[in-house]
C-alpha cells in the first residue's frame, strides 16, 4: 500500500491542500502502526506454536538437555540497531533481505515452553552478511538452517519452517542402514501410508560432523527434494509450513522406525 505524503489538485485553496496533506499523513501513520502490530501478531503466533510443539517434543523424549534446534523464515521490517555481525564463509545471498528466527546455542527445547522469546534469535541477512537483531548466539547448526532456507526459497517450496531433533527409533534404525534406497525400502514395507505421506521417500545422509559445512551442504541438497532428511547416528531434520507440520512428519517416520525395530 503506497500512501502519498502530498496530493495536490489544481484550483484547490492552500487550506484544502493542507487538510489533504494532514489526512494522508494520518493514514500513513495508521498504516505503519497496523503493520507493526501485524508483525507482533505474527511473532506471537509463532511463539504460541513453539510453546505447544516444544512441549510435545519434550514429552516424546526426542531431545535432552540442549539438543535439537529449529528455525523459521519470518516476514517483517525490523531495523538493524547495535547488532553484531556473525562471520560466515559460505554463500547465503539467496536470503538477502530475509529474517530468520532461530533457537539459541545450547537452548533447551523444554525451556521454549515457558519463554520462547528468551531462547530465540532473530537474524537479518543483508548482502551476504548475517546480523544478530535480537538474542545471544544462534544454534551450532546455523549453517544447516541457512543453507536449507536458501534451497527452500530458491525452489519456491513455500515451507519456511525447519525442525531438527534426535528421536531414538530413527537414530537406532539409521545405524545398520547403508543407503537411502535401503532406508526407504524398509519404511515403505512397514506401512502402506508411507508412500502417500512421503511419495518421494525420505533423505539419508551418512555420518557427518555436527555443525559442519559439509553436513549443511549435503542436507540442503536433500531438503529441496525430501520433506525429511535422516542423519545417520544423529537425528532427523524436517521442513514444513509450520513447526507443527514439521513435527507431524517426524512423528510419522519415528513411528514407522519403531514398528520396524520391534519386528527385527
CATH code for position 193 = 3.40.225.10
Is residue 13 assigned to a domain? no
Is residue 234 assigned to a domain? yes
Q: Taken in order 216, 222, 224, 228, is the CA torsion positive or negative?
A: negative
Is residue 165 assigned to a domain? yes
| Under 8 Å between Cβ of 184 and 260 | no
- Of 14-23, 42-51, 119-128, which one has max mean pLDDT? 119-128
Is residue 109 assigned to a domain? yes
pLDDT digits (tens, 9 = 90+) for 237-259: 999 999 999 999 999 999 999 99
Provide the CA 65 distance to its chain's centre, in angstroms.
21
Secondary structure of residue 24 in the 3-state scheme? helix
Is residue 8 assigned to a domain? no
Beta bridge partners of 203: 229
- The whole-model pTM stands at 0.82
Q: What is the domain range of residue 108?
A: 50-263
pLDDT digits (tens, 9 = 90+) for 145-158: 999 999 999 999 99
Q: pLDDT band at 119, cuts 50/70/90?
A: confident
Eight-state DSSP code of residue 136: S
In the numeric block, the cell 531462547 is attached to: 119
Q: pLDDT band at 100, cuts 50/70/90?
A: very high
What pLDDT does 37 receive? 33
Provide the CA 124 distance to its chain's centre, in angstroms.
14
Secondary structure of residue 164 in the 3-state scheme? strand
Is residue 73 assigned to a domain? yes
- Cell numbers that stand for 143 in this block: 549453517
Instruction: Please state the domain count of the chain.
Output: 1
Number of residues written out for the chain: 264
- Quote helix, strand, coil % in the chain, to nearest 5: 45, 20, 35
What pLDDT does 66 receive? 86
Amino acid at each position: 500500500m503506497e500512501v502519498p505524503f502530498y496530493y495536490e489538485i489544481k484550483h484547490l485553496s492552500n487550506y484544502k491542500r493542507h487538510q489533504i496533506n494532514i489526512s494522508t499523513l494520518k493514514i500513513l501513520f495508521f498504516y505503519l502502526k497496523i503493520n507493526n502490530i501485524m508483525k507482533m501478531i505474527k511473532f506471537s503466533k509463532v511463539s504460541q506454536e513453539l510453546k505447544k510443539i516444544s512441549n510435545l517434543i519434550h514429552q516424546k523424549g526426542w531431545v535432552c538437555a540442549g539438543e535439537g534446534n529449529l528455525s523459521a523464515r519470518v516476514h517483517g521490517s525490523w531495523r538493524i540497531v547495535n547488532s553484531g555481525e556473525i562471520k560466515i564463509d559460505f554463500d547465503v545471498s539467496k536470503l538477502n533481505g530475509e529474517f530468520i528466527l532461530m533457537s539459541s546455542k545450547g537452548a533447551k527445547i523444554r525451556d521454549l515452553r515457558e519463554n520462547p522469546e528468551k531462547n530465540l534469535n532473530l537474524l537479518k541477512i543483508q548482502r551476504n552478511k548475517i546480523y544478530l537483531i535480537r538474542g545471544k548466539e544462534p544454534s551450532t547448526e546455523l549453517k544447516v538452517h541457512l543453507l536449507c532456507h536458501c534451497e527452500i526459497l530458491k525452489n519456491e517450496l513455500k515451507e519456511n519452517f525447519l525442525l531438527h531433533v534426535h528421536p531414538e527409533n530413527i537414530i537406532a534404525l539409521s545405524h545398520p542402514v547403508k543407503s537411502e534406497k535401503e532406508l526407504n525400502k524398509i519404511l515403505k514395507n512397514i506401512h502402506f501410508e508411507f508412500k502417500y505421506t512421503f511419495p518421494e521417500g525420505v533423505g539419508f545422509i551418512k555420518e557427518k560432523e555436527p555443525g559442519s559445512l559439509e553436513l549443511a551442504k549435503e542436507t540442503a541438497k536433500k531438503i529441496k527434494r525430501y520433506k525429511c532428511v535422516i542423519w545417520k547416528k544423529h537425528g532427523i531434520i524436517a521442513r514444513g509450513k509450520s513447526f507443527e507440520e514439521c513435527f507431524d512428519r517426524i512423528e510419522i517416520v519415528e513411528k514407522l522406525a519403531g514398528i520396524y525395530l520391534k519386528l527385527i
